[in-house]
Copies of this chain bind each other. A is one copy, B any other.
Amino acid sequence: MPDLQPNTHTLMLPAINFCNQCGERVEQKIPQGETLYRAVCPACQTIHYQNPKVVAGCIPEWEDKILLCRRAIEPRLGFWTFPAGFMELGESTEEAAVRETLEEAKARVSIQTLYALFSLPHVSQVYVVYRALLQDQDYGPGEESLEVELMPIEAIPWDQLAFPVIKETLQRYAEDRSRTEFQTHFGAIPRQPHPSPTNTHL
């Protein structure tokens, strides 16, 4: 089992102490037929799996510009990102990306293509990023954003981006755009040195 200790400064999952079905204290054991330790309830036998979370987002495009948001919440308050957030039960990754864009940038987009799938194993997250078309120029900061700006690629604040996965995605986007040839990117992005004291996320 990966050595994942609870850490409130990251988005890793805390250890499970009690069964969420019957309230009994759980045991850590390897269930029959499995190879990893799980939290197992000795009373109702429920096995409590913990799994990575999907973050869905998009790069909203308007002519030669893209829409970025400056975060109003921790982690990385004050830093820039494209609209993205945790996927909810019962929705598709496309629906999650559209919803997050509406919530964070009050903007309506239509999803065009899958642009990137990046895993962040050290925080057990999977980023799914689409290219999307902004439907109109009616946008503005939602509750989780300080400001929202439609900016040309040349204006991307490279040293003020929220997370390494955001920088990696936008760097590839800028390169693809300069060649006018877009690919779908994928891979894993490892933990990186903290670029600033406020980066407690990655």
Contacts and interface: CB of A to CB of B under 8 A. Distances in A.
Contacts of A18: 18-23
A130 to B, nearest CB: 8
Contacts of A92: 119, 121, 187-188
Contact of A4 (B19, B89, B117): B89
B52 A52 contact: no
Interface string A22-62: 11111000000100100100000000111111100000000
A101 interface: no
A128 to B, nearest CB: 7
Contact of A186 (B21, B33, B90, B114): B114
Contacts of A33: 143
A94 interface: yes
A93 interface: yes
A23 B14 CA distance: 14
Interface string A179-202: 000001011100000000000000
14 contacts: A2-B88, A2-B91, A16-B20, A17-B23, A18-B20, A19-B20, A20-B39, A51-B51, A87-B126, A89-B124, A93-B186, A94-B119, A95-B188, A126-B128
